[in-house]
Amino acid sequence: MSNNPQQSSQQQNAKTVRLMLLIVIGMFGFGFAMVPLYDLLCSVTGLNGSTTGRIQDVSQLTGRVDYNRVITVEFDATNNADLPWEFRPTIKKLDVHPGEIKEVSYFVKNNASHAIVAQAIPGITPWQATSHFNKTECFCFIQQKLEPGEGKEMALRFVIDPDLPKEYKTITLSYTFMDTDRSKLKQNGEMPKLQTSVTGNLPNNNI
Amino acid sequence: MSAVIHEAHDDGHHDGPPAGFKRWLYSTNHKDIGTMYLIFALVMLFLGGAMAMLIRVELFMPGLQIVEPDFYNNLVTDHALIMVFGLVMPAAAGMANWMIPMMIGAPDMALPRMNNMSFWLLPAAAILLVSSMAVQFIPGTGVPVNTGWTLYPPLSVQTGLGMDLLIFSVHLLGISSIMASINIVTTILNMRAPGMPLMKMPLFVWAWLFTGLLLIIIMPVLAGGVTMLLFDRHFGTSFFDAAGGGDPVLFQHLFWFFGHPEVYVLLLPSIGVLGLVIPTFSRKPLFGYKPLVFFMGFLFALGLVVWAHHQYTIGMSLGATTYFMIGTILISIPVGLMIFNFIFTMWRGSMTFETPMLFAIAIILMFSFAGVTGVMLAVVPADLQYHDTYFVVAHFHYALIPGAVFGLYAGVFYWLPKWTGHMYNETHGKIFFWWTTLSFNLTFFPQHFSGLAGMPRRIVDYNIQYIEFNQISSIGGILFGLSHLLFLYIIIKTVKGGEKATDKPWEGAQIGTPGLEWTLPSPPPFHSFTTPPQIK
Amino acid sequence: MSKSKSFLASISAFLLSVFASPASAEYALNLPEPVAPLTAQMYDLHMLTTKIATIIMVIVIGLVTYAILRFRKSKGFEADQNFHKSAFGTWSWILVPVIVLGIDLTIAGSAIDALNQVEDYSQKNDVTVKVIGSQWKWTYEYMEDDVRVVSNMLSKEEAGEHYLRAVDNPLVLPVGKRIRFLHTASDVLHAWWVPEIVYKKDSIPGYINETWTIIEKEGTYRGQCAENCGTGHAFMPIVVEAVSQDKYDAWMTEKKSAMQVAAAEASSDKTWTLEELMTRGEQVYNTNCVACHQANGEGVPGAFPALKGGPIATGPVEGHIDMVMNGSSKNPVMAAWAGALNDLELAALITYERNAWGNNTGDVIQPSDIKSVRK
């Protein structure tokens, strides 16, 4: 304790403020740390069903093929808004044994008159299956660039982990292609005012 | 730091405030800054209230009456932000500024210069917020902020210039409230008069200690979240964009990590006010002071870890939903204890029913109601039905208007004699109480039913089947809004004159764990407790 | 004075008429009656928590009322300054939380079963429907049958009393079958919700969420988009027609053959006449373009360009085809339709736009023209 009470209270205040500023900075950092942490959490648990599920070494899975179990894998495709691509799985569903390596393909074609780079976002439901769905090859690992009118078949090779809990008999694998040029979404500046007069020129509201 | 010391030292030699605008612009006096906070909150109350009334007029009838869909959703967005950041938080901060130094016997806030800055950021933020709404009338500025206050991407990435202004406004509001909180917490921890240990502080001071700490923890996270949003919008990052490996749901987690504790930021100061008002007018010490402090701390901690109950529908894992459900339901324990302790404070008391007490009793009833609907909403399977309907709207208005706003009204009536030196007109106060309380219930009670019947939130037009409840709600809303003209009248009249208030205008004000504010004259001198008071 | 009295009288008359109105009294006070096992469980849970809530409120209101009637200063009641030091005062801080915790656990416990049901993905599903939310319409894809239904809101005139809760093409589903919904979105967040038959899960672009139901009763069930999706959020209704298996099969067969006919027509090398293309084009226009460019082709000044006499619609054919197929490079709101529409639809649409509303360019665009642009 200093002899001057005012002095000591000022020092005490400075100490408290420093401590709290540390909390503030720490929490601001925590917000940003959430980004990798959340990704990590999702890829470990498969929480949002969207991990790429890429693996290199499958020997450990293929060694234990479970021929007594059949799992139906459904394939699905979605185009995000305004992506003028034709995108579909070449087969709708496939019965597989866990541990078996299977290869399927998706067909994609650029109907636009300019080249477009897009990224496929994988999604799996039920989400519990995500961490058991392993891919050795997938078009979703990289961005896909298609020239105008270009079409191609893209391969997907996967193997389901035999440890997948017994109750899951159907897995749906879904891909959404999104244009990587996100400026289309931004609508800044040149975007006209989206809606109109109060009299109601809304979607189908005017007929 | 040395400048601050000097300033504080200097002030001790002046007796009155400096004259003219400099008194306010350069003010480092906690009472003046408190007054400015309260006036700012009052202005925002009318601005946000006007928006609410526009919303209710629009919803009086099905069809588009007076506003366009985007403008409507912009109203919804700004109504929420203004009421949360413009009304409740500044009003609570204003009361903290006024009362905490006087309650704990401090000469001023710990950091008077910072106090000045944290207030003067607010008008700047308010101007940005209002202009974020106004820019939609300039062609070429893009889609208005039609996202609701939650600002969820990808919709918030689609919106135009207004969103950027709004993000900057949120930054300023965040900085302002972080600074105010640091100041208040430092004041509470370091500036108490000798003889006032933490466990003898008035409940209002405790409530603000927790509120301040909460704000320091959560505000930076919101700031980080909206900063990422800004980067996603303009600098090509993809924090929340699946095409670039991001996740839109992450924003929801960041937002609600802030957003749920924020509810307690709004509630706690008012609970603190109740902790003073109810003993005063029951003429009996607060029932269970220590448990109340302890459970406030419990609420503080629990509030930080249950945020995802706002997002049950995003598709979380079974384990996560179960955890968030049980965590959320447990909130009823501290809240239930508070409610019952307040009732037991009244129990075997000697009650009189001045305006602050009327508000306090109404809060106990209506906030309990918000509590039980809160438990209903916490139950995941049922919430998958309630989510994003008017049931939720009704629930959180019951939580926040009685829980936060009415608590502040109780505080205003309780301390108005102290602040102004005049008694308010009790008859006017009572008329105001009955008018607001009845019209509030008329507005929001029917919304539970329209929500259960399936009316979603944030819609500008609704099917004819919802007309009855919306019309009742709109009539109630207009009456509720108009009642505040009386509030304004009472305040102005009391500031200007009226019956002289004594130092201790309430008979029971010194009972239990009171602050030192009642030992000062009404109104208190410009500088109070320049030498620390002695507490027996 | 008399004026304000008559105002009050008219308000109270209005309120009376509201409460007397039988239409609202029937269903608007509570969740609609569930017609699926899971929504029934949710309904029961809702009723249970409502009852508990009511009991708690009665207790709180009772205590407060008793207190304010009994312990008043005006009645001369002296405050008991030692009440908080009594045995009750000493132990209530543990008593109250224990009681509340008991109530909490009762509620949480009764919710666990329904929660497990929601997350039950192990059952075999009879029908899977992928529900895609987009600004501002719903698209349904029957995964097994490869059938796609686009569901737009009906106008006030067409919908009548169901305006905002009526669509042109409802989702048709069979009763008594386990139906799985896969939810996703193509632009921003949406939420698909029909309270009688299925609860909410958000539609998130790039992600898949799953819900399920078994509809137990035939009928028409209505809902609305529940997650704010921008300007048209209020204008995204959902209608489900639940029908018997026979009717469902018949509907599906009809839908499939209609799609086959359309596909065959679109890929045939037939040369179409102006009239044929105009008729088809008008349909395509009214489904896809009318929201922005308006039925009269005049657009909305300052927002959506006019097609009537517009530079694109009356300019070079190539430019027009490019605009419709690839969207605008300057204005992102103008979508690219190459993916969504087939050659015939595009040809008909462009022909229509070039000849309707007095544009009368006389140009006839054939599907083969589109095909050649596609390469």
Q: Contact B103/B205 with Cβ under 8 angstroms?
A: yes
Q: What are phi and psi of C31, to 5 degrees?
A: -60, 145
What's the CA gap between A146 and A150, in Å, rounded? 6
| Radius of gyration from C-alpha coordinates of chain A | 26
Looking at beta carbons, which residues of chain B come within 8 Å of A176?
242
**pLDDT per residue over B469-517, tens digit each?**
999 999 999 999 999 999 999 999 999 988 999 999 998 888 877 789 9
Question: Stretch B272-294: mean pLDDT, rounded?
Answer: 94
3-class DSSP state of A72: strand
What's the CA gap between C255 and C222, in Å, rounded? 22
Question: Stretch C116-141: mean pLDDT, rounded?
Answer: 89
Of C72, C116, C234, the CB nearest to B461: C234
Structure-token pair, residue B53:
């009334």
Neighbouring residues of B435: CB distance < 8 A, sequence distance ≥ 6: B479, B483, B486
Task: Decide which of B173 and C310 is more confident.
Answer: B173
Question: Stretch B337-352: mean pLDDT, rounded?
Answer: 94
Q: Which of residues 187-246 of B touch A (CB under 8 A)?
A: 189-191, 216-225, 228, 233, 236, 238-239, 241-244, 246
Question: Stretch C240-249: mean pLDDT, rounded?
Answer: 96
Q: Is the pLDDT of residue B17 over 60?
A: yes
Q: Which of residues 274-313 of B touch C (CB under 8 A)?
A: 282-288, 290-291, 294-295, 313
Confidence category of residue A11, pLDDT binned at 50, 70, 90: confident
**pLDDT per residue over C303-314, tens digit each?**
678 888 888 888
Give this prediction's pTM. 0.88
| Residue of A94, A95, A98 whose CA lies nearest to A61 | A98
- Average pLDDT of every residue of chain B: 92
Strand order in the sheet with A133-138: A85-89, A101-110, A151-160, A133-138
DSSP string, C151-200: E-BPPHHHHGGGTTS-BSSPEEEETTSEEEEEEEESSS-EEEEETTTEEE
| Radius of gyration from C-alpha coordinates of chain B | 23
pLDDT at C237: 94
Domain C127-261 class in CATH:
mainly beta
Residue A150: closest C-alpha in chain C: C375
Q: Which of residues 370-389 of B touch C (CB under 8 A)?
A: 372-373, 375-376, 379-382, 384-385, 387-389
Question: Stretch B284-312: mean pLDDT, rounded?
Answer: 93
Confidence category of residue B266, pLDDT binned at 50, 70, 90: very high
Q: Is the pLDDT of residue C142 over 50?
A: yes
Name chain C's partners: 3 or more CB pairs within 8 A: A, B
Place of tokens 């619609």: C313
Instruction: Tell me whether residues C57 and B372 touch, CB distance under 8 A.
Output: yes
Looking at beta carbons, which residues of chain C come within 8 Å of A113?
322, 325-326, 373
Q: Contact B425/C200 with Cβ under 8 angstroms?
A: no
Structure-token pair, residue C68:
């304010």
Instruction: Tell me whether residues B346 and C64 touch, CB distance under 8 A.
Output: yes
Terminal C-alpha separation, chain A: 81
pLDDT at B35: 96
Instruction: Tell me whether residues C326 and A112 touch, CB distance under 8 A.
Output: yes
pLDDT at A47: 60
Q: Is the pLDDT of residue C220 over 50?
A: yes
Confidence category of residue A138, pLDDT binned at 50, 70, 90: confident
Instruction: Tell me whether residues C231 and B152 touch, CB distance under 8 A.
Output: no
- List the domain boundaries for chain B: 38-519
- List the domain boundaries for chain A: 10-45, 59-182
Q: Is residue A126 reached through a cis peptide bond, with omega within 30 degrees of 0 on the bond before it?
A: yes
From the centroid of its chain, how far is CA B28? Answer: 24
Q: Which of residues 37-56 of A touch B (CB under 8 A)?
A: 38-39, 42, 45, 47-50
Q: Is the pLDDT of residue B94 over 70?
A: yes
Architecture of domain C268-374: Orthogonal Bundle (1.10)
| Residue of B324, B296, B395 whose CA lies nearest to C53 | B395
Instruction: Count CB atoms within 10 A of the CB of residue B493.
Output: 15
Instruction: Tell me whether residues B154 and C189 touch, CB distance under 8 A.
Output: yes
Question: Stretch B211-227: mean pLDDT, rounded?
Answer: 95
What's the CA gap between B308 and B327, in Å, rounded? 10
Q: Is the pLDDT of residue C374 over 80?
A: no
Determine the CATH number of domain B38-519.
1.20.210.10
Instruction: Tell me whether residues A84 and C373 touch, CB distance under 8 A.
Output: no
Q: Is the pLDDT of residue C16 over 60?
A: no
Q: Contact B8/B112 with Cβ under 8 angstroms?
A: yes
Query: Quick check: B533 contacting A, CB < 8 Å?
Result: no
- Average pLDDT of every residue of chain C: 85
**pLDDT per residue over A185-195, tens digit each?**
544 322 333 33
pLDDT at A45: 63
Instruction: Tell me whether residues C155 and A205 touch, CB distance under 8 A.
Output: yes
pLDDT at A141: 85
Could you tell me what percent of chain A has a pLDDT over 90?
13
Of A80, A124, A193, the CB nearest to C186: A80
Q: Is C249 left (phi over 0), alpha (psi -120 to 50) or beta?
A: alpha
Question: Stretch C326-331: mean pLDDT, rounded?
Answer: 72
Report helix angle B407-420 to B89-104, nearest 10.
50
Name the burial class of residue C15, with classes exposed (0-12), middle (13-18) and buried (19+) by CB atoms within 10 angstroms of its CB.
middle
Q: Contact C227/C189 with Cβ under 8 angstroms?
A: yes
Task: Decide which of C46 and C20 is more confident.
Answer: C46
Place of tokens 């969740």: C31
**Strands annotated E in C233-354:** 237-243
pLDDT at B55: 96
Determine the CATH number of domain A59-182.
2.60.370.10
DSSP annotation of B237 reads -
Q: Contact C95/B328 with Cβ under 8 angstroms?
A: no
- List the domain boundaries for chain C: 27-118, 127-261, 268-374
What's the CA gap between B414 and B416, in Å, rounded? 6
